[in-house]
Amino acid sequence: MSGPESKHLDFSSISPSEFFYRNRQMAGFGNPAQATYSTVRELVENSLDSCEDAGRAPVIAVSLETTASSQVVISVEDNGLGLPYDEVPSAFGQVLYGSKYGLRQKRGTFGLGVTMAVLYGQITTDSPVIIHTQSDNRGWVYRLYIDIENNHPLVEESSERIRSETGTTVTVRIEGDLPRAASRIDDYLRLTSIATPHARLVLRIDDETTLDVGPWTEILPPQPMEAKPHPRSADTELVRRTMAGKQALSLKDYLIGSFQQVGRKTASEFIRFLGLDSKRRVGDLSRTEISRISSVLKSYDSFSRPDGNSLSPIGREAFLKGVQSLYEPEYFSYASRGPLEWDGYPFILEGVIASGAAFPKGEEPTLFRFANRVPLLYDASDDILTKSLKRVSWSRYGIPNGVPWGIFVSFCSTKVPYQAAGKQSIATLDEIESAGLALFRALGRGALKQTKRQKRSKRSQKRMREMKASLRMIARFSADLAEVNTQYADELAANLFRGDEQ
Q: Does 90 bind its own copies (CB under 8 A)?
A: yes
Q: Residue 310, interface with its own copies (CB under 8 A)?
A: no
Q: Does 66 bind its own copies (CB under 8 A)?
A: no
Sign of the alpha-carbon torsion through 376, 401, 451, 469:
positive
Q: Which of 85, 104, 110, 158 binds its own copies (CB under 8 A)?
A: 110
Which pairing describes strands 345-355 and 59-66: parallel, antiparallel, or unpaired? unpaired
Q: Is 96 in the site for its own copies (CB under 8 A)?
A: yes
167-175 and 129-134 as β-strands: parallel, antiparallel, unpaired? antiparallel
474's enclosing H/E stretch is helix 430-481
CA-to-CA separations, 430 to 341, 388, 433, in angstroms, rounded: 11, 10, 5
Q: Which is nearer to its own copies, 82 or 351 (CB)?
A: 82
DSSP output for 440-460:
HHHHHHHHHHHHHHHHHHHHH
Q: Which is nearer to its own copies, 170 or 493 (CB)?
A: 170
Which residue of 294, 372, 414, 450 would you call a contact of its own copies, by CB under 8 A? 294
**Residue numbers 361-400 binding its own copies by CB under 8 A:** 379, 381-382
Q: List CB contacts of 249: < 8 A, sequence separation 6 or more.
A: 257, 281, 282
C-alpha 138/C-alpha 83 separation (Å) is 11
Kindly tell me which residue out of 85, 104, 123, 296 binds its own copies, with binding defined by CB under 8 A.
123
Q: Does 148 bind its own copies (CB under 8 A)?
A: yes
Q: How far is the CB of 1 from its own copies (least distance, A)?
A: 7
Tell me which of 38, 135, 266, 413 binds its own copies, using CB under 8 A: 135
Query: Which CB sits closer to its own copies, 4 or 222?
Result: 4
Our finding on whether 42 is near its own copies (CB under 8 A) is no
- Comparing CB distances to its own copies, the nearer of 66 and 486 is 66
Q: Is 153 left (phi over 0), alpha (psi -120 to 50) or beta?
A: beta
Q: Which helix (H) or strand (E) is 243 found in, with range?
A: helix 236-243
Handedness of CA 177, 179, 181, 182 (dihedral sign): positive
Q: Min. distance of Cβ 56 from its own copies in angstroms?
A: 9
Q: Which of residues 397-416 bind its own copies (CB under 8 A)?
A: 415
Cα–Cα distance, 115 to 19 (Å, whole number): 13
CB of 406 to its own copies, least distance (A): 21
- Which lies closer to its own copies via its Cβ, residue 100 or residue 316? 100
CB contact at 8 A, 150 and 21: no
Binding residue (CB under 8 A) for its own copies from 19, 85, 300, 497: 19
Q: Is 15 in the site for its own copies (CB under 8 A)?
A: yes
Subset of 166-205 contacting its own copies (CB under 8 A): 166
Q: Is 164 in the site for its own copies (CB under 8 A)?
A: no
**498 near its own copies (CB under 8 A):** no
38 lines the binding site for its own copies (CB under 8 A): no
Please give the angle made by the CA atoms of 255, 261 and 263, to the nearest 5 degrees. 60
HEC string of 362-431 equals CCCCEEEEEECCEEECCCHHHCHHHHHHHHCCHHHHCCCCCCCEEEEEEEEECCCCECCCCCCCECCCHH
- Interface residues for its own copies in 416-445 (CB under 8 A)? 417-422, 427-429
Query: From the CB of 379, what's the least distance to its own copies, in Å?
Result: 6
Q: If binding means CB under 8 A, how many residues of this protein chain bind its own copies?
A: 73
Rounded Cα gap, residues 234 and 251, in angstroms? 15
Quick one: 89 or 375, whose CB is closer to its own copies?
Answer: 89
Q: How far is the CB of 267 from its own copies (least distance, A)?
A: 22
Is 21 among the residues that bind its own copies (CB under 8 A)? Answer: yes
Q: How many other CB atoms are there within 10 angstroms of residue 394's CB atom?
A: 19
Q: Is 55 in the site for its own copies (CB under 8 A)?
A: yes
